[in-house]
Amino acid sequence: MAPANTDIEYTPSQVWGGGGGPPASEDNDYKDKEADIAGADADADVTTPPSSYAESLADERTGLHRALKARHLSMIAVGGVIGPGWFYSIGTGFTYGGPGGVIIGFGTVGVLLYLIMQSLGELAAFISVTGSFTDYTARFLDPALAFALGWVYVVLWGGFLINEYYVLGLICTYWQSKLPWWGFVLAGWVFFYLFGCIGVRGYGEAEFFLTWLKLLFIISFFLCSVLITTGAIGDGGHVGFKYWRDPGGFSDGVRGVFKCFSLAAIFYAGAEMIGLTAGEAQNPGRDIPRAVRLVFIRIFVVYIGSLFFLSLVIAWNDPNLFNGTQTQATSPYILAFTNVGLMQAGNVLNAFILTTVFSAINGALYVSSRCLVSMSRDGYAPKIFGATNRYGAPYVAVAFCNAFGLLALLNLSDGAVVVYNWMVSIGGVSTFITWTSIVACHIRFRKALKLQGISVDELPYRAAFFPYAAYVAFAGGFFLIFFQGWTVFLPPFDVQTFLMNYIMIPIFVLLALGYKLIRKTKWVDLATADLVTGRRPYRNASYEKEGVAKRLWANTFG
């Protein structure tokens, strides 16, 4: 057994902040916990480690419960937040760039996301707090940037909710229901608010089962696409790579690829929610690394795989394909079957897509509300957003975030297309800002470890290829923030398109500068940066030694 590390001291002032230690009645218990943390062997088999007093205090301040298990985090990593927007609106990607352009665009951003998730995984496994990257930004960069990032992230998910409620309306119009469109939106608004108030365990269980359903559907679609392409089913005959030849692999050349960058970001957004779940995970030091590794499946199987098989069975110039310029359209997944005469399959698929609304809105409310809870705790948002009920659900924050969904009612008018395009552009830039901030925090975090004499061997999870991957991810994110909308500068110049692509950059800067001037914040000194609060110095060595079969079982049912 390796000797315990004794270089790290957890003093009462560090854990409890400012003026000393815990309440006198808990002083003895605190000392016992402190000794347990300082003397914990790095190779110890701690399946469910005891919480430190710092973590207990954080839970008391937020009122949130640590109820997410390994299987919940695994499924959230693979398919969380993937909803009807993907199954309907991905047609926009094909019209933007064609099959080749959309795959290159999503592939490029996917590689960037995987590198970013390496950084987030290392941070979240070591410092497991509800605020995740907003908390890390305040610790390692500047509280002013944390304030700006938090509100930009909330707006990002507000736009996501608008889109998902909008797609819910598209599904209703597919069946030509006699019920008013706005009735479905209002009924859904009430339902999802009530569900969001039952606590994190309900969210975790819903995502677990719905992600399995989505994975089964996607795998089944892969098989059906092969059968359609070979002419085994339907009346379309042998298709092969017909649509790559006519109308072609690219719809708008390099411009089309760049248009797909923002679209990819808005669909990939949500992978970073793994960091936010750390504050409600039972054993984040063990389970967050598992979940981060599974993001690879999300990117290259769920997304890239789906795009490839869709490219075999639909044409990017199909007039029925949703392309961001009409208020009624058909899902590309449904078109794949109806175009070869399998009309009933379309009804079945539409019913499935309707079930994904639950996952998408459920996840969006979870992410945005938890971000608000953390911001209220840290003074970046009104304290009322931190209020929780007896189930540990932040009901005020959930109500505020869900209110964004009511803006979907605007899509009843002719402005639907404008709202959708604004959401895609603003959401894409906001996502790139968030991702770049995560990597910046990771780079600074490593420097803080070095300055404070903490070995990287104490990290529950170490990011691959550091520091090179982190620098590449930071440069890539920074580049995409400013150049994802470069096509707007080509003639003819359109002011509205320019604002859609770049308005979030000055908003972010103004929020940060305003907070900095008012609160007089300073750039964090890494020699004294907080590396204690929320820290998880545990490691589950037995899991690392398990075979592939046992790991798979643990990720799925653990």
**Residue 8: per-residue pLDDT:** 35
Average pLDDT over residues 122-131: 90
Going by pLDDT thresholds of 50, 70 and 90, the confidence category of residue 269 is: confident
CATH superfamily of the 58-521 domain: Amino acid/polyamine transporter I (1.20.1740.10)
- Specify whether the CB–CB gap between 20 and 6 falls below 8 A: no
Residue 291 pLDDT > 50:
yes
Full-model pTM: 0.83
Residue 33 pLDDT > 90:
no
pLDDT single digits (tens) 321-377: 865 555 556 789 988 888 888 888 777 887 888 888 889 999 999 999 999 999 999
Strand boundaries in 128-238, DSSP class E: none
**Residue 21: per-residue pLDDT:** 35
- Specify whether the CB–CB gap between 184 and 359 falls below 8 A: no
Going by pLDDT thresholds of 50, 70 and 90, the confidence category of residue 25 is: very low
Residue 423 pLDDT > 80:
no
Classify 68 as helix, strand or coil: strand
**Residue 414: per-residue pLDDT:** 55
pLDDT single digits (tens) 244-254: 999 999 999 99
pLDDT single digits (tens) 322-332: 655 555 567 89
CA 44 to CA 48: how far, in whole Å? 11
Going by pLDDT thresholds of 50, 70 and 90, the confidence category of residue 196 is: very high
**Residue 19: per-residue pLDDT:** 33
Going by pLDDT thresholds of 50, 70 and 90, the confidence category of residue 164 is: confident
- Nearest Cα residue to 401 out of 369, 423, 434: 369
- Specify whether the CB–CB gap between 383 and 176 falls below 8 A: no
DSSP per position, 246-310: IIIS-SSHHHHHHHHHHHHHHHHTTTTHHHHHGGGBS-HHHHHHHHHHHHHHIIIIIIHHHHHHH
In the chain, how many H helices and how many E strands?
24, 0
- Across the chain, what does the average pLDDT equal? 81
